[in-house]
Amino acid sequence: MQRYVSKMKASAMEALELAKKLGATAAKFHYYHRAAHEVAFESSRLKACSGEESQDFVVNVIVDRKRGSARGNVMSSIPEIVERAVTFAKNGAVSHFDEYPAPAESYRKIRLYSPSVNSLTSEKLVNDCQGFVDRLMAADSTLIVDAGGSFDEAESLLALSSGFYNEDASTFWSIGGGFQKTTGTDMLFSGTGRSWGELNSLYDFNAIYDDVMFDLTNAAKIVKASSGTVPLILPPSVVMKFFLPVIMGVNGRNVFKGTSPLQDKLHTQCFSKAINILEDPFVDFAGGSIAYDGAGIPTQKRMLIENGVLNLFLYDYDTACMAGKEPTGNSGCSPNSPRLLPGTVSSDELIKSVKHGIYVKQMLGFGQTNMTNGDFSANLALGFLIENGEIVGRVKDTMIAGNVFELFKGDVQFSSDIHPNNRQPYMLLPGVTLNA
């Protein structure tokens, strides 16, 4: 990929200076350039093999404590875009600060670019996806198989009127696959994927095949579950979805607005001691890793929840100024890369400990209830019945419901093993209402 970002510095500085001349007390210039390649198989056949290159930039300004933003992709139009952003600020949203904070003395170095990704080719993706499709079709010729992959190289520039300036380069790949199986009126879906910033052992279509074959094998028999209160086994691909209300609860803007159920729980025992959530934005090549937020404030590695105790709320710079708090380096007041810490027993042992429960793989409607206060209700798009520690078949027409803030106070357990890609453990969540 041809490099452009180093040539953009002068343009970025000129854009910031023009914004100030036009009345902005603060300005931000963000440039992004990406070259990507993608392969897609649909209905067991190659549908697309494409490549694209794109660039764009965004100008954000603050004028009289109001925000304005404009975007473009033609470099010669930068002055026009700056003027447009300043004009938009007249009717923009309120800003709670006039200027960005001064840059920090130092920032954490994170590896986001690996030349190893450049060894990927579209031909390799086609061959690997075709191999996955052929292997699944050999296992069951009635399947409709999808597969795909991509790899890209990107560069970016962030410049603030405060003097913050940084250039980044990154690489990334992703692969995935799944199937649809229709038998009469019954439809079964399964799919999974992987991604990373360095080409390593995580690039593994065999692992994706094993994941979807787990679903295909265990779904062969349809069984009926009994309504009542049951434990759930949540695999790494699902577990963080149940923590969405907690993530919303530590959002500093929600705390300031008074909508967070955790607003008066700081430094108190909110959950089971088994629950530990680490924010770690410094993992090389991982999605979500970043050294600074949109205001140039350094990110941090820290425990959000430790042994069930809530340690802190998260604030971006604007919210921190509004609430009179210290900013935490979290754009949007959300964690950059939250991770549940593992427990002491294996996932196999967790499953074996369940006498009657559900193994949840996919849900429909989760997140459409009142997630702010922790309530959830969802249909199981794909779930398996566990009897006496063994998966005995697939359940249909089944719903789960509960409140995560109440459930997380119970006997929650986490596996000692974690998924190699998303680094999350399995979770055993007791006390969930099951309607079958």
The structure's pTM equals: 0.94
Q: How confident is the model at residue 321 (pLDDT cuts 50, 70, 90)?
A: very high
What local confidence, expressed as pLDDT, does residue 2 receive?
66
pLDDT, tens digit, for every residue of 397-407? 999 999 999 99
CA 163 to each of CA 13, 74, 102: distance values in angstroms, whole numbers, following the listed order: 10, 25, 7
How much is the average pLDDT of 360-378?
A: 89
Backbone angles phi, psi at 334, to 5 degrees: -115, 150
Q: What is the pLDDT of residue 1?
A: 66
User: Which CATH superfamily does the domain covering 5-216 fall into?
Assistant: PmbA/TldD superfamily (3.30.2290.10)
The pLDDT of residue 369 is 74
The ranges of the chain annotated as CATH 3.30.2290.10 are 5-216
| Mean of the per-residue pLDDT values of the chain | 96
* C-beta separation of 423 from 289 below 8 A: no
Residue 212 pLDDT exceeds 70: yes
pLDDT band at 312 (very low <50, low <70, confident <90, very high): very high
- Please report, rounded to a whole number, the percentage of residues in the chain having pLDDT higher than 90: 96
Structure confidence by residue, pLDDT tens digits, 123-148: 999 999 999 999 999 999 999 999 99
Question: Whole-angstrom Cα distance, residue 413 to residue 348?
Answer: 13
Mean pLDDT of 215-221: 97
Instruction: Quick: pLDDT tens for 410-434.
Output: 999 999 999 999 999 999 999 999 9
Confidence of residue 370 (pLDDT cuts 50, 70, 90): confident
